[in-house]
Amino acid sequence: MDFFAHQELARKQTRRMLVLFALAVAALIAATNVVVLVGFGIAPEMRGQAIAVISLGTLAVVGIASLYRISSLRGGGSAVALQLGGVPALPGTGDFTYQRLRNVVEEIAIASGVAMPEVFVLEHEAGINAFAAGYTPADAAITVTRGALDKLTRSELQGVIAHEFSHVLNGDMRLNIRLIGVVFGIVVLAAIGRRILIHGGGRSRNRNTGGIVIVAIALLVLGWLGVVCARLIKASIARQREYLADASAVQFTRDNQGIAGALKKIGALSAGSKLEAADREEISHMLFGDGVGYSSFFATHPPLIKRIKRLLPRFDPAELARVSAAWENPVQVGDTDSEFASLAGFAPAGAFGAVADAAASSLPDANAAIRLDSHCVTRQVGNPGDDDRSVAGSIASSIPDDLRAAAEKQEYAVALVLALALGAGTTARDHGLALLADAYDSGTLQRVDRLCDRLRDIHPLQRLPLAAMAFPTLRRRPRAELDALVKALAMIIAADGLVSLSEYCLATMLRSQVIESLDPSSHAAIGRTRLPSLATELANLYSVVAQHGHDDDAAAIRAFQLGIEEALPTSTLGYQPPSDWVASLDQALPKLDRLAPAGKELVIAGLVRAISSDGVVNASEAELLRTICACLHCPLPPLLQR
């Protein structure tokens, strides 16, 4: 799967949705004009003015209603999950199913290089389903039903979560929220007609009563015809994306049996994937499985059997009956890691044996220099493979339990990020703690000091993932506290007059994946700017990268030239490192984030070419590359392809 092609596809589908929406609204306006003109018998000489008023009024009602509904979801994925009654799957609750769910989401987040999303559970939903919501990966939320937790094995849940992550990576979430707004705007016309009938149509003896009733009935009919159009729009956009997400999940996990097993259980078990929530129709296009039960004409998901057969071409539908029979009397199993065991520790009748998860691969040597291919790395963006998942599992599982617990605790998360910034050196730590004394109490400072000792021996590849584990906890803190943390980090980093790459990466990832999530609707993942218009910003970016990755000017100049040659061959700008490289990157990256997907692909290819111009890439350069990619909303897995 090509991340940049999918981003462009999401962009095209957004344009297609807007065109279809405009056509539907235009048809509604025309029909409303006809109804009002006939219903009230408006004189021919007044019709021109009446048509203008009616058209603008209808357009205003639909537009304002759509914008209102979209603005109500400005909180991002969490807002959608909470409106549906989602319960946060917080760490430290003692619930085994919650912790295993978080572990699966965490592993896939690390493997894909995106921020760890918020995790929610729809506790009262027995069907097997899930959805991802949000404006950007930084504010995403993954929500699963209790039925998924009770009935799916770990590998099946991995398949479902990987499917949802593909929607995160491919830019589908923002489109999904806009679809919610579009449908709501059209439905409002029907609601207005119904209100007029209830409260105004039959209570007056005025001669215009008949006209009012006709208009109200017409609005009701037209509104529901509009709903039919909206459902068709949703169905036409959503079905193909589900096939793509299934394929992406298989490519992600290298396991077609997991997601296919989840689909089989949806088809075999009585609860299926249906939701009971009142708002299920509004989010129908976002779900893993059909949560409403639409007919094939309005279905937002392809037929279940077709989805399974695309994953398992030799699948026999008769197998669903066998799965159903086996689950009529599920049995408790002792080994919750069994290939048959659901997350709740149950297995179908007759299941036995256990197959342990494959051992995670060892972490790469932190000091080893690696050789990269620019085109392999760009294909890897948003497209993690089995090696990435294995490395992610190793990174996550090998982080000491007390540090993982610190990342998940409200009172420790801030201290952990500060400790990561201070490092393990005694001199820098003491000076940093002194600087923090005015901003934090003694208890926080003591926690920072203890965590600095614990961080001494962790693998360099674990630093940013450990910080990322703390980000969901930080997102639940007050904005003032997060602003104070950003200022504290800046103060620590600037204390010695030098900014290291690791310090810059930590502070930048905090802003990108935590602060951004506080106002997610303003951060677009897909831009329209063309690369040539940002040649100066590109040259500054490549100059900084070349300067930090090479010991002498000649090598840095060569690296810069190779990067520019890859990304923007027509540029005449030369190598000129800015005097303040941090400010230069902070200015360039937000502008480069507004590039069209094809432009971002060229930027990353040039970055890799520049970084690897000397034939090797060290850990700090790889960390910087991954941070830049995160700022461009192009998540990069932890293991770079050679």
Q: Which residues are designated catalytic? A: 164
Secondary structure class of 141 (helix, strand, coil) = strand
Tokens linked to 356:
């342990």
Residue 328 per-residue DSSP state? S
- In the chain, how long is the greatest CA-to-CA distance? 91
State how far Cα 223 lies from the chain centre: 32
Secondary structure class of 439 (helix, strand, coil) = coil
Q: What is the Cα–Cα distance from 284 to 231, expressed in whole angstroms? A: 10
User: Across the chain, how many H-helices and E-strands are there?
Assistant: 25, 6
Could you give phi then psi for residue 66, rounded to 5 degrees?
A: -65, -45
Give me Rg for the CA atoms of the chain.
Answer: 27
Q: CA 328 → CA 153, 261, 270, distances in Å?
A: 17, 17, 10
- Give yes or no for a contact between 389 and 108, defined as CB atoms under 8 angstroms apart: yes
Q: CA 244 → CA 1, 250, 264, 341, 544, distances in Å?
A: 9, 10, 18, 28, 37
DSSP string, 463-510: HHHHHHHHHHHHHTS-HHHHHHHHHHHHHHHHTTS---HHHHHHHHHH
- Going by C-alpha positions, the residue among 559, 574, 536 that lies closest to residue 610 is 559
Q: What is the Cα–Cα distance from 40 to 8, expressed in whole angstroms? A: 48
Q: What is the Cα–Cα distance from 165 to 160, expressed in whole angstroms? A: 9
Q: What is the Cα–Cα distance from 257 to 259, expressed in whole angstroms? A: 6
Residues 103, 84, 139, CA angle at the centre, nearest 5°? 50
Q: What is the Cα–Cα distance from 166 to 1, expressed in whole angstroms? A: 10
Alpha helices, H only, 526-615 = 535-549, 553-567, 581-592, 597-611
DSSP string, 308-322: HHHH-TT--TTHHHH
Residue 368's CB: how many other CB atoms inside 10 A?
10
Residue 347's CB: how many other CB atoms inside 10 A?
24
Q: What is the Cα–Cα distance from 557 to 137, expressed in whole angstroms? A: 35
DSSP string, 175-194: HHHHHHHHHHHHHHHHHHHH
Residue 340 per-residue DSSP state? T
Query: Scanning the structure block, which residue is given the tokens 């592993």?
Result: 107
State how far Cα 78 lies from the chain centre: 11
